[in-house]
């Protein structure tokens, strides 16, 4: 697979969760994890905006159609995330908008033929940790690449270092670590039993390093066997992106369909697992610019329309209420938003040159009202 294909594949796998319907079951009792007094809201951060550019300033993500036909998505600081001061500015916008943390997409690239190039995906995390205002936000990692028995050891050793950062997100003093492609990991490691052994090794290395206990989360989707994740040793479940579950037809779908679909899967997944579940609130989805510029690559055949700051705020209000009403099923009253800066995929909170700070202003207002009730 060439480098450009792999870069977009990494972006695309986030939204290709398997579609299907959940069987209805009785509510399952969940473990009693410590719970925060109030909801902590965070957003996924995709660090793909600092690859080396060509002579016209384009990268695989910063593609011609995105820059021209979908220019309304451009952040106020421009498309790139790596100029001096941009990360500090992003942190301030996120914190002022009411976010408590970012979940950084993180990549262990040693299995790839061009790992040096692909390591640009981790530039944003490095810039975040070097920012003088980094303590305004907590952070955690979501591992996004395939593994092997060899690379699993590297994942353990490399991530444990981050757990020691003072603003790494913790629940009851335990750092959380998440995996996007858990089913692929289970397969790559040789099944449930071997995966449990690998996770046990991870926990032991964390203890030996002085970190102590850790909590490990797996991404999931509604039509999967939810029981296998507990058998593997995972502590909680979540979804990165629920875009598929609001799709009614090919082409344009109203944003209200995404809202309805997400509420349905929050209820379905949380009722079918013994593990805590963290909901994700989507702010839209529309990959047409990348699909246009990379026509040989697979892309979803649908997108959402009618997305406004007010509608995002209303959906967030539903997510906050659901988390409150289901606190016995939710890990530490955490709630995710998809996404901070998936501008290429059509989901963002970043202030843009077209909307200015409207989305974050709305979110801050919703948070202020809902969490003070």
Per-residue pLDDT at 37: 59
Whole-model pTM?
0.90
Q: What is the pLDDT of residue 16?
A: 37
Pick the CATH number of 31-370 from 3.10.450.50, 3.20.20.80, 3.20.20.70, 3.40.190.170: 3.20.20.80
- pLDDT at residue number 371: 76
CA atoms within 13 A on the CB side of 326: 27
- Residue 68 has a pLDDT of 98
* Closest to 70 (Cα-Cα) out of 80, 57, 79: 79
Backbone phi, then psi, for 342, in 5-degree steps? -85, 55
Using DSSP, state whether 141 is helix, strand or coil. strand
Helices (H), the chain: 3-13, 64-68, 86-96, 115-118, 123-129, 149-163, 182-188, 192-208, 227-232, 255-271, 288-293, 309-325, 358-370
**Token pair belonging to 341:** 């800066």
From first to last of its 373 residues, the chain has per-residue pLDDT tens of 344 334 444 443 333 333 333 333 333 344 444 444 589 999 999 999 999 999 999 999 999 999 999 999 999 999 999 999 999 999 999 999 999 999 999 999 988 888 999 999 999 999 999 999 999 999 999 999 988 888 999 999 999 999 999 999 999 999 999 999 899 999 999 999 999 999 999 999 999 999 999 999 999 999 889 999 999 999 999 999 999 999 999 999 999 999 999 999 999 999 999 999 999 999 999 999 999 999 988 889 999 999 999 999 999 999 999 999 999 999 999 999 999 999 999 999 999 999 999 999 999 999 999 877 6
- Cα(first)–Cα(last) distance of the chain, in Å? 52
DSSP string of 264-323, one letter each residue: HHHHHHHHS-SS-EE-EEE-----HHHHHH-TTS---SEEEE---HHHHHHHHHHHHHHH
User: What DSSP state is assigned to residue 260?
Assistant: H
Residues 6+ apart with CB under 8 A from 91: 128, 131, 133, 134, 136, 137
Q: How far lies 38's CA from each of 181, 214, 266, 361, in Å? A: 29, 22, 19, 20
């Amino acid at each position: 697979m060439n480098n450009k294909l792999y870069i977009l594949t990494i972006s695309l796998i986030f939204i290709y969760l398997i579609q299907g319907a959940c069987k209805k079951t009785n509510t399952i009792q969940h473990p009693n994890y410590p719970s925060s007094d109030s909801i902590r809201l965070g957003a996924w951060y995709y660090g793909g905006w600092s690859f080396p550019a060509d002579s016209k300033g384009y990268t695989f993500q910063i593609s011609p159609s995105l820059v021209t036909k979908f220019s309304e998505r451009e952040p106020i600081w421009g498309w790139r995330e790596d100029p001096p001061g941009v990360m500090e500015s992003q942190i301030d916008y996120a914190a002022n908008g009411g976010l408590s943390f970012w979940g950084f997409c993180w990549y262990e690239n040693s299995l790839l033929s061009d790992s040096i190039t692909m390591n640009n995906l981790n530039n944003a995390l490095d810039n975040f940790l070097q920012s003088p205002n980094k303590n305004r936000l907590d952070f955690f990692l979501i591992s996004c690449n395939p593994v092997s028995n060899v690379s699993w050891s590297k994942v353990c050793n490399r991530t444990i270092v981050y757990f020691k950062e003072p603003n790494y997100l913790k629940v009851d003093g335990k750092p959380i670590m998440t995996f996007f492609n858990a089913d692929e990991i289970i397969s790559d490691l040789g099944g449930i039993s071997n995966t449990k052994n690998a996770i046990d090794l991870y926990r032991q290395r964390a203890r030996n390093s002085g970190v102590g206990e850790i909590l490990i989360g797996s991404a999931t989707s509604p039509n999967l066997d939810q029981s296998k994740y507990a058998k593997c040793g995972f502590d909680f479940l979540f979804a990165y992106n629920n875009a598929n579950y609001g799709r009614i037809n090919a082409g344009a779908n109203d944003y209200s369909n995404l809202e309805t679909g997400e509420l349905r899967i929050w209820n379905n997944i949380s009722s079918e697992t013994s593990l805590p579940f963290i909901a994700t609130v989507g702010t839209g989805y529309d990959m047409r610019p990348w699909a246009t510029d990379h026509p040989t690559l697979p892309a979803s055949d649908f997108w959402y329309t009618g997305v406004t700051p007010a509608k995002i705020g209303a959906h967030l209000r539903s997510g906050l209420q659901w988390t409150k009403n289901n606190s016995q099923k939710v890990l530490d009253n955490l709630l995710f938003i998809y996404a901070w800066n998936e501008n290429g995929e059509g989901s963002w909170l970043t202030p843009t040159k077209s909307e200015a700070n409207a989305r974050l202003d709305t979110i801050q207002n919703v948070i202020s009202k809902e969490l003070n009730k």
